[in-house]
């Protein structure tokens, strides 16, 4: 078995289409998406068995906010395999080889959306987000009277000021990623023939962008309904937030429902006249530390702490061993040590460092073993949240 970076996307696209059950009517759109992603220089990796393409994935390079630091991160998407090659370890092999490739490029982190938690845990990833998708009726959105200060502009593609605004907001909180023009093309590219439009609404105050919505407007044939899905909802202040909800409310004569993806600390109730039609928990994304050295010296908003950890990583030998993690004056320092007090795997500790869970949580879940004089040291948790699809 061997892997290589593909110089053609077409066999990959057919394999992925089968793996993700893409219907005949959507296969052309699906292949065109892969064609455009390929020409935008995303890397398509393939595992080969006797010269046959057996499994594949796509690497998406990002700069992601990780505890208020922009860290070089690779998204892993479109993980797929041939139907007649399954059960032979090709996908596992390719995932592990992709991790080694990322490490060789000094990548700090990797993220992916799992089809099965335990499968990806086997290569070092662990869950680090659990967001909410709120299903709303436009008529239940409650707003204060509109002001003349905010202007909304519906756009096919964000302008330069909009791209800069998005990337500035990324650095403030959560786990958003910096978007280049290619990233925006990918986010606004049609994915199925049920989609009516993808677009961006930029909100302006005094000629400056102060808010942004990225949306997908779709028709659901089975329900004969239209859905307005919002995955990016950035705003500077309450006045802007109110104007954004007002923009959505004005679509009530046209759209059946609104899907709003939001972090768990998002205050929504104040903008509704009644409870949401439904709340769908999920949007689980998994994270993996690729190179511990990339996190050494980052800003780390937590109380001072000092703990030594024995880490196991089945793929990257450099991540194996005992490491001392010291938080001093909101800086994280990582060094080798000989006296670990707890033991865990690289995936579990990736989720802990992200802020999604704490050390004590994982001890209670038997994901961490106490092997020394553990004194209760823990890190501050954070609200993790990512909107990027890849």
Distance CA 379, CA 132 (A): 24
Domain boundary among 251, 282, 313: 282
Which of 220, 248, 282 is the last residue before a domain boundary? 282
Domain extent for 215: 132-282
Pair (303, 276) in one structural domain: no
CATH number for the domain spanning 352: value is: 3.30.1050.10
Identify whether 149 is part of a domain. yes
Query: Same domain for 162 and 45?
Result: no
**H helix intervals, the chain:** 10-19, 27-39, 90-104, 117-121, 160-170, 181-187, 238-249, 346-354, 359-364
Looking at the domain assignment, is residue 45 inside a domain?
yes
pLDDT of residue 281: 82
Do residues 316 and 349 share a domain?
yes
Could you tell me if residue 293 is inside a domain? no
Number of domains in the chain: 3
CATH number, domain with residue 268: 3.40.630.30
Q: Contact 34/40 with Cβ under 8 angstroms? A: no
* Residue 292: inside a domain: no
Residues in the chain, pLDDT under 70: none
- The verdict on 164 and 271 lying in the same domain is yes
pLDDT at 147: 83
Is 81 a member of any domain? yes
Do residues 273 and 313 share a domain? no
CB-CB contact of 330 with 302 (8 Å): yes
Of 282, 307, 338, which residue constitutes the final position of a domain? 282
- Establish if 390 belongs to a structural domain: no
pLDDT at 157: 98
CB 283 within 8 A of CB 143: no
Q: Which pLDDT value is given to residue 144?
A: 87
Give yes or no: residues 186 and 304 share one domain: no
Domain membership flag for residue 121? no
User: Do 101 and 146 lie in a common domain?
Assistant: no
- Do 153 and 264 belong to one domain? yes
Same domain, 319 and 277: no
Q: 384 in a domain, yes or no?
A: no
Is 314 in the same domain as 247? no
Residue in 143, 81, 82 with CA at minimum distance from that of residue 115? 81
Residue 200 shares a structural domain with residue 338: no
Cα–Cα dist 69/80, whole Å: 31
220/322 same-domain check: no
């Amino acid at each position: 078995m061997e892997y290589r970076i593909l110089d053609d996307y077409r066999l990959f696209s057919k394999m992925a289409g089968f793996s993700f059950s893409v219907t005949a009517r959507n296969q052309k759109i699906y292949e065109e998406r892969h064609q455009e992603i390929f020409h935008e220089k995303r890397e398509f990796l393939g595992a080969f068995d006797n010269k046959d393409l057996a499994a594949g994935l796509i690497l998406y390079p990002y700069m992601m906010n990780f505890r208020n630091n922009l860290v070089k991160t690779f998204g892993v998407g479109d993980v797929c395999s041939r139907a007649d090659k399954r059960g032979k370890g090709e996908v596992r092999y390719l995932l592990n080889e992709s991790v080694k490739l990322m490490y060789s490029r000094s990548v700090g982190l990797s993220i992916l959306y799992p089809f099965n938690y335990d499968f990806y845990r086997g290569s070092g990833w662990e869950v680090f987000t659990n967001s909410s998708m709120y299903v709303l009726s436009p008529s239940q959105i409650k707003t204060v009277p509109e002001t003349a200060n905010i202007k909304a502009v519906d756009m096919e593609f964000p302008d330069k000021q909009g791209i800069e605004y998005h990337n500035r907001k990324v650095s403030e909180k959560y786990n958003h990623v910096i978007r280049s023009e290619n990233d925006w093309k990918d986010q606004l590219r049609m994915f199925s023939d049920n989609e009516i439009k993808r677009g961006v609404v930029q909100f302006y105050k005094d000629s400056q962008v102060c808010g942004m919505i990225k949306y997908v407007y779709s028709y659901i044939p089975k329900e004969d309904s239209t859905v307005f899905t919002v995955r990016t909802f950035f705003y500077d202040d309450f006045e802007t937030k109110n104007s954004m909800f007002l923009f959505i409310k004005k679509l009530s004569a046209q759209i059946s429902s609104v899907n709003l993806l939001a972090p768990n600390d998002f205050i929504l109730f104040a903008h509704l006249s009644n409870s949401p039609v439904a709340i769908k928990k999920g949007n689980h994304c998994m994270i993996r530390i690729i190179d511990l050295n990339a996190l050494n010296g980052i800003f780390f908003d937590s109380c001072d702490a000092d703990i030594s950890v024995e880490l196991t990583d089945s793929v990257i030998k450099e991540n194996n061993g005992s490491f001392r993690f010291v938080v001093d004056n909101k800086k994280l320092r990582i060094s080798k040590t000989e006296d670990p007090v707890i033991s865990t795997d690289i995936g579990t500790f990736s989720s802990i460092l992200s802020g999604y869970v704490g050390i004590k949580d994982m001890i209670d879940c038997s994901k961490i073993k106490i092997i020394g004089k553990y004194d209760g040291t823990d890190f501050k948790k954070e609200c993790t949240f990512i909107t990027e699809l890849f």
